[in-house]
Amino acid sequence: IQDGVNRIEFTCGKAAYEFIERMERIAKETVECIKVLEIPTIMVSSFQSGDITHDVYDSAQVFSVEPDMLPKTMKRFCREIVENHRELNRMRESLNLPEKTLAESVSEMKKPKNLKELCETVFSIWKSQKKQMEKMLSETAKIKADQLIKKAKNEMIFEVISGTRKELIEIAAELLKRNPRLTIILSNQAGEIVGMSNTKDMGKEIGELCRKAGGSGGGNPKLGQGRVELSKLLKIMEQS
């Protein structure tokens, strides 16, 4: 093809019908994915469209994926929304806040008019949840830091608490903000363990502790992470 000449490809005949059928299948499978959310305000069974191809391609751009990947991507986002909602309610409980249903959490969402708007709505819910989780994580860390800092002995905090690994790191960081001389080792009931300090090599400290407690770990001088057998860790804590 010479410079300045654009090539335009047309699909016609049987291939055209097969292409349209594929676009319709992609749209139908994408819409089916939202049933798991059980949110009445966005529940739809189908969309009437004059140009299903444009609808599918425009919708795929919302998630920055190819059209064939749209149903799989929508399914993943819906699954994460359900998981995020459970985690948000767990965090609400730790903050003594009432639980919410997923429908209550997105009550302001408008019913989508087409496939693209549906994808934008799902993406917006997912994004909003991430922001809420970051905010609540910070609030939870401050509350737990208030409780833990009272347990410091000889500038050391060594405790088993509830929370995810990410929460343990956030809490430890909050404690160090309040007292930079602290050495903090926190574990949860799953045996995930983190350590933070400005004065000790926590990668080495946590690595050694994990080996003694039947697990493994490591990290850098300021942050160590690993996994242990909780029963063995509790025995070590009793002896310390």
pLDDT tens sequence across 28-70: 999 999 999 888 777 766 666 668 889 999 999 999 999 999 9
Identify the weakest region by mean pLDDT among 4-18, 58-72, 200-214. 4-18
- Per-position b or e across 6-30, b if 16+ CB within 10 A of its CB: eeeeeeeeeeeeeeeeebbebbeeb
6 vs 140 pLDDT, higher one: 140
49 vs 98 pLDDT, higher one: 98
Residue 185 confidence (pLDDT): 97
Percent of the chain with pLDDT over 70: 91
Kindly tell me if the per-residue pLDDT of 192 is higher than 80.
yes
Looking at residues 207-215, what average pLDDT do you find?
96
Residue 45 confidence (pLDDT): 61
Q: How many CB atoms lie within 10 A of CB 113?
A: 11
Whole-angstrom distance, CA of residue 79 vs CA of residue 85: 10
Q: If you average pLDDT over every residue of the chain, what do you get?
A: 89
What number of CA atoms fall less than 13 Å from residue 229's CA on the CB side?
9
126 vs 20 pLDDT, higher one: 126
Kindly tell me if the per-residue pLDDT of 1 is higher than 50.
no
Convert 87-154 into a string of H (helix), E (strand) and C (coil): HHHHHHHHCCCCCCCHHHHCCCCCCCCCHHHHHHHHHHHHHHHHHHHHHHHHHHHHHHHHHHHHHCEC
Strand partners, 184: 157, 196
The first and second tokens of residue 107, run together, are 């009550």
Residue 137 confidence (pLDDT): 92
Kindly tell me if the per-residue pLDDT of 8 is higher than 70.
no
Kindly tell me if the per-residue pLDDT of 239 is higher than 90.
no
Identify the weakest region by mean pLDDT among 53-67, 74-88, 93-107, 147-161. 93-107
Identify the weakest region by mean pLDDT among 99-108, 152-161, 163-172. 99-108
The first and second tokens of residue 79, run together, are 């699954």
**Residue 109 banded pLDDT, cuts 50, 70, 90:** confident
Kindly tell me if the per-residue pLDDT of 103 is higher than 80.
yes
Residue 13 confidence (pLDDT): 67
Identify the weakest region by mean pLDDT among 4-13, 48-57, 166-175. 4-13
Kindly tell me if the per-residue pLDDT of 10 is higher than 60.
no
